[in-house]
Amino acid sequence: MPESPALYPPIECYDHGFLKVTDLHTLYYEQSGNPQGKPVIYLHGGPGGGVSAHDRRYFDPAVYRTILLDQRGAGKSTPTASLEDNTTWSLVTDIEMLRKHLGIDKWVVFGGSWGSTLSLVYAQEHPDRVKALILRGIFMLRKSELNWFYEFGGASNIFPDAWDEYIKPIPEEERGDMVAAYHKRLTGDDEDERVRCAKAWSTWECSTSKLFVDPVEVAKATEDVWALAFARIECHYFFNKGFFKTDAHILENVNKIRHIPATIVQGRYDVVCPATSAWELHKAWPEAQFEFTHDCGHSAKEHGTTARLVQAADEYKSL
């Protein structure tokens, strides 16, 4: 599929660097667009997915000062694929450290999939620092959501061929808890098994992210370094239930952010983060703009979703 015409043209970053946030973790960040513009931070999915040059293109470069961040263990951040001291709450702290490091008072926060989770939690912890939220493919990291996608009986019914490949590395007797079975192997000492399982885990998600399977997206899951970071960090977070005290943490704290301008974009046929989660958030937060894109799955790169995300960013240029 050709790229969406709604995107802004490719742009180079005017600044990039590394921010040391702990003795162990150093994070890559970059800035593009207008250095005197309105700040927006892009929070990538996964967790563990990392950012790319494509992610700069949702934002008008004449207006926005666009900040991209590789979260702990992801992308160019080091150490790669590290699980040590890597939690939702440490990432929230990192975002605040970066905001202060860059001398930003308030910013628009943009995130899809896991990025929507992190955007929501960050906003709930620091509502005075968020001018607006642009959210896509809502994921609140609840047990029901994890069961739908990673355990038998949910997404497996829609993509049975991809499911068979996903469960292949796991012995039949351990398939009753796929997240635990993968976690054991992705954190184990057998390097060959770690890589094999990382590729299978990542391929499952890449095979199901679009309404029409994208071979280019699936091929990304065969890259050892990317797949290891993506699978290890995702599974680490999911095995630990997002490091939340309760299953409904985000919904329980939504009142903290209902005053913040927000747009929620949800692919009607999203198999990875099914629409019921976005709908529940919408009902708890009726003030936020909400829109289904009716010919899209999970990916932000599907044309209907891309266009609506760019439109939302354009709408918030006037803030």
Q: Which residues have a catalytic role annotated?
A: 113, 270, 298
- Taking residue 306's Cβ as centre, other Cβ atoms within 10 Å add up to 23
Sequence-separated (6 or more) residues with CB below 8 Å from residue 289? 262, 263, 264, 312
Q: Alpha-carbon distance 279 to 284, whole Å?
A: 9
Q: Alpha-carbon distance 110 to 300, whole Å?
A: 12
Cα distances (angstroms) measured from residue 49 to each of 57, 186, 209 = 17, 16, 13
- The answer to whether the CB of 30 falls within 8 A of the CB of 13 is yes
Dihedral sign, Cα of residue 242, residue 89, residue 220, residue 173: negative
Backbone angles phi, psi at 13, to 5 degrees: -80, 145
Give me the long-range contacts of 148-155 (CB less than 8 A, separation at least 24): 148/274, 149/208, 149/271, 149/272, 149/273, 150/178, 150/179, 150/238, 151/177, 151/178, 151/179, 152/178, 154/274, 155/208, 155/271, 155/272
Q: Alpha-carbon distance 11 to 6, whole Å?
A: 15
